[in-house]
A and B are shown apart, each in its own frame.
Chain A
Amino acid sequence: MENELGALGRYAGPATLIMSSLAGGPKHGYALINDIEAFAGQRLRPGTLYGALARLEQGGLIEGLEADGRRRPYRLTESGAGALQAQLASQRHVADVGLRRLSDGLATS
């Protein structure tokens, strides 16, 4: 499960952002872009967003709901929630190690 998002290659970054946004509830494309910009300070371009959404849906990590006009909301699936948890835990571990080493380095210098 840990490698599910990693297997997306360069889409792993946008995929983590999208799934983190969907962890707060179903959203359509425009709402996803705005939410991601609000919590991550990064505005995904439409092509990147839909490239990642298509790969996540194909991988069964998210699913599309009934379309509301031209907008279709997406939600996290159970396996998507598990994959996101594993990915975020892995990122947290990397961040913890990096921050600890950085503070150790600053303390010794």
Chain B
Amino acid sequence: MTGDYFAVWTKLGERWGWRVVPLGLLFWVVLWPVGTVWLLVTALQRYLALDRSSEARTERRVARLLSLYPGDWRARYGDELAELLREAIRDGRGGPGLTINVVRESAATHTSILGRRGVVAVACCSLAWLPIAQGFVPLAIKLTHGTSRAWFLALYLPSAYQWPVIAAMIAVATLMLAVAVRATVVCNRRRQSFEISEPWS
């Protein structure tokens, strides 16, 4: 068995399935210094083993750029775009402008496939942890009569405002999660209809 961190965990995942998740958590909680050194050694090994020929570098860059696009889109246009990217790099047109162009266009592709609702769903999912933390943690601190205020807004307010702010944070968090779930459902429906119709299938 190779000592590569990712290879080891992938093999364990294949053998033990979901049980590898608690095992991984336990490993990082108990043996995090070992994990950190192991990760650094793996990164160094991978860096030293890299093929540094210009063709290999081009292939790695093309693969990185293509990975920015959604899977469905890549399945349809990936080979053609990869060929053009290789030609652009070979012709000396592979400067940072090429990367910026692909990053911008791939983002636009994600947005057009997700639609406005998808963007809302992603934004709500990404930001909902803020009101969740600002609502439930001060709630727990208040209920247990804790004294720590940390970075929880409600606990810095006069006591008359603390419960309303906690309630408002929980309400905002619930609303954001509800919007995210609703938008995800609509988005999945839209995505399925996209996949059924050519040319995205």
Total number of A-B contacts with CB less than 8 angstroms?
A: 59
A46 to B66, CA, bound (A): 11
Most buried by A among B77, B84, B101, B106: B84
A72 to B112, CA, bound (A): 23
Q: B200 on the interface (CB 8 Å rule)?
A: yes
Q: B55 on the interface (CB 8 Å rule)?
A: no
Most buried by A among B77, B80, B97, B109: B80
Q: Which residue of A lies closest to B76 (CB)?
A: A54
Are the C-beta atoms of B199 and A57 separated by less than 8 Å? yes
Name the A residues within 8 Å of B200 (CB-CB).
58
Q: Which residue of B lies closest to A53 (CB)?
A: B77
Name the B residues within 8 Å of A45 (CB-CB).
88, 97-98, 101
Q: B85 on the interface (CB 8 Å rule)?
A: yes
Name the B residues within 8 Å of A29 (CB-CB).
80-81, 83-84
Q: Given A45-B97, A64-B199, A70-B82, is A54 in contact with B88 using a C-beta cutoff of 8 Å?
A: no
Q: Which residue of B lies closest to A28 (CB)?
A: B80
Could you say which interface size class chain B belongs to? 20 to 34
A22 to B108, CA, bound (A): 24
Q: B102 on the interface (CB 8 Å rule)?
A: yes
**A: number of interface residues (CB 8 Å):** 22
Q: B105 on the interface (CB 8 Å rule)?
A: yes
Q: How far is the CB of A19 from chain B (nearest CB, A)?
A: 16
List chain A positions with a Cβ less than 8 A from chain B.
28-30, 33, 43, 45-51, 53-55, 57-58, 64, 67, 70-72
Sampled A-B contacts (27; CB under 8 Å): A29-B83, A29-B84, A30-B84, A30-B87, A33-B84, A45-B88, A45-B101, A46-B84, A46-B88, A46-B98, A46-B101, A46-B102, A47-B101, A49-B84, A50-B80, A50-B84, A50-B105, A51-B105, A53-B77, A54-B109, A57-B199, A58-B199, A58-B200, A67-B80, A70-B82, A71-B80, A71-B83
List chain B positions with a Cβ less than 8 A from chain A.
73, 76-77, 79-85, 87-88, 93, 97-98, 101-102, 104-106, 108-109, 112, 199-200
Known: A29-B84, A47-B98, A55-B112. 4 other contacts (CB 8 A): A46-B85, A47-B101, A57-B199, A58-B199
